[in-house]
Amino acid sequence: MTPRFASEDPASAGSFRVPRVLALVLAVSALIAVPACRVGHDRAKSDGGLDKDKSVKAKPLDPTETSVTTPGTTSSTSSRSGTTATTKRGTATTGTSASATPTTAPAPFRTLTDVADKTNDEGLQGTAYGDIVELKVEDNGTRARVTVAVAADFPAPPPADETISVPVDFFRGGKESDFQLFAQWNGADWRAYYTAGTTQKQFPGTFELGANKLVFDVPWSALGGRVAGTVSAEADWSKQGTVVAPASEDHAPDQGSAPFAF
Amino acid sequence: MNRRFATIIAAGAAGAFALALPLHALPKGTAGYNTSSDTPMDCGSGRTLTLHGPADLWPPNHKYYTDIYAEAKDPAGGIITLDTDGTHDQYDGDTEASGSGHTADDIRANDNNSDGSLATEGSNSTAQHPAATEMNDGDVVTNWEARAERAGTIQAGRTYTLNATATFSDGSTCTNSIQMHVPHDMRPSNR
């Protein structure tokens, strides 16, 4: 008697139809779940509405890399990310030894504008690290270094239930900012974002944070070129609450924006 | 057999949806932060009134989000008057709630319309509730923009509302409305 496959036997058709049905259900589930999973993964790349892939995470600020200057003077040479003076080792070939190639030290930064902001003006519910005390813009011929200092060291890290936003806006004659450098503590990490007009683009430089300072270092080409304009900064701090949340807001300058020129 | 097969597919799809939903939480709003989608309204006789905007905005960097508009269409090409108005819920009388930034005009009609027309100020326009009126044959669009901004002191965040009323050539009207939300923070439930 020729064995018949169970599926060919009408008497056993019902019992073997179940695994086939189950396999079909699982296959359909996979087809639908995979795109849904991808939505979730794409969602993880965003920081709310910003694309994390276009942001940079904060690096620790080297306190020796920010100069203390007075307006109009030249600061001491500082080494910045991307412009660090290093000695390169040449490629070693047979019979020769590696040779050092000296590089030119980066141009020093000089202050274009240095806005002092009074302390304790961020609001009664605020915190000292939400209170801007200085906004400084420096130039080294090709790059802008923007420093925002607050009245106390940032917690390392800040609490997860706090949101700290520090937009620095550059204006080229209009009422709306033409370029924005934006730093934010989002409860998880510090990141910097860059917007040209209303469009987010890849952050074009470095972002460092340490003690009571945030430092952005970007090429002037990302800020509309090395031309005169105005600049302003804000520190927006808030904490999760119930109906009413503790929050503060501080601006430098207090009103409008501060001019800078070359 | 075909009905059985269709039943199996439907059951599989339902199961997949139930599985996918908790594993990968859907984005806030209908299309995620800073992503606009259409909210259409069928006005009858083939006419439509669509509002296009994001369900949620973040971060509160005071920048305008500009992919917002109202569009009324009449396939018969008749003249349409489109009235739009916008506001948000964080005003204390005539001023914005504390912590809303130093910027003004947090929601406004954008004069740079793609159809080349200009939005004229609507008769009911106020500083806290700007309005615009436009007219065109068959297809009229009014662009709007809203700042990603909210008062840090208000836990519920900010909600913008954009309203639109289309009046068609036969005198009939059609209304539509959308809300756009700026949350207070990025707590896990807002992500």
- From CA B45, how far away is CA A189, in angstroms rounded? 53
CB proximity under 8 Å: A 190-249 to B: 193, 195, 198, 234, 236-238, 240-249
Quick check: B163 and B88 in contact, CB under 8 A?
no
* ipTM confidence score: 0.77
Q: Is A253 on the interface with B (CB under 8 A)?
A: no
CB atoms within 10 A of CB B167: 17
Which helix (DSSP H) or strand (DSSP E) does residue B100 occupy? none
Q: Which of A22, A26, A41, A163 is the best substitution to test chain B (most B C-beta atoms within 10 A)?
A: A163
A46 and B32 within 8 Å at the Cβ level: the answer is: yes
The residue in chain B having the minimum alpha-carbon distance to the alpha carbon of residue A31 is: B16
Q: Is A79 on the interface with B (CB under 8 A)?
A: no
pLDDT tens for chain B, 191 residues long, are 567 666 655 555 555 444 444 333 333 444 568 889 999 999 999 999 999 999 999 999 999 999 999 999 999 999 999 999 999 998 866 566 655 566 678 999 987 776 767 788 888 888 888 999 999 999 999 999 999 999 988 889 999 999 999 999 999 999 999 999 999 988 878 77
Quick check: B147 and B63 in contact, CB under 8 A?
yes
Burial of B14 (0-12, 13-18, 19+ CB in 10 A): middle
Q: β-strands A206-210, A59-60: how paired?
A: parallel
Query: Which residues on chain A are in Cβ contact (under 8 Å) with B13?
Result: 28, 32
Half-sphere exposure (Cβ direction) of A188: Cα atoms closer than 13 Å? 11
The verdict on pTM exceeding 0.90 is: no
The partner residue sitting opposite A176, judged by closest CB among B23, B64, B101, is B64
| E-strand stretches of B138-188 | 139-147, 158-167, 173-182
At A16 the three-state DSSP class reads helix
Return the DSSP state at B154: B
Query: Which residues on chain B are in Cβ contact (under 8 Å) with A186?
Result: 59, 186
Q: Is A260 on the interface with B (CB under 8 A)?
A: no
Tens-place pLDDT, residues A60-96: 998 765 544 333 333 333 333 333 333 333 333 344 4
Which helix (DSSP H) or strand (DSSP E) does residue B65 occupy? strand B64-73
Nearest to A139, CA basis, from A72, A57, A213, A56: A72
A39 and B66 within 8 Å at the Cβ level: the answer is: no
Q: How far is CA B107 from CA B66, B72, B79, in A?
A: 10, 20, 27
- From CA A261, how far away is CA A147, in angstroms rounded? 17
A245 and B155 within 8 Å at the Cβ level: the answer is: yes
The residue that leads in pLDDT, A245 or A231, is A231
CA distance A113 to chain B (A): 21
Which helix (DSSP H) or strand (DSSP E) does residue A42 occupy? helix A13-44
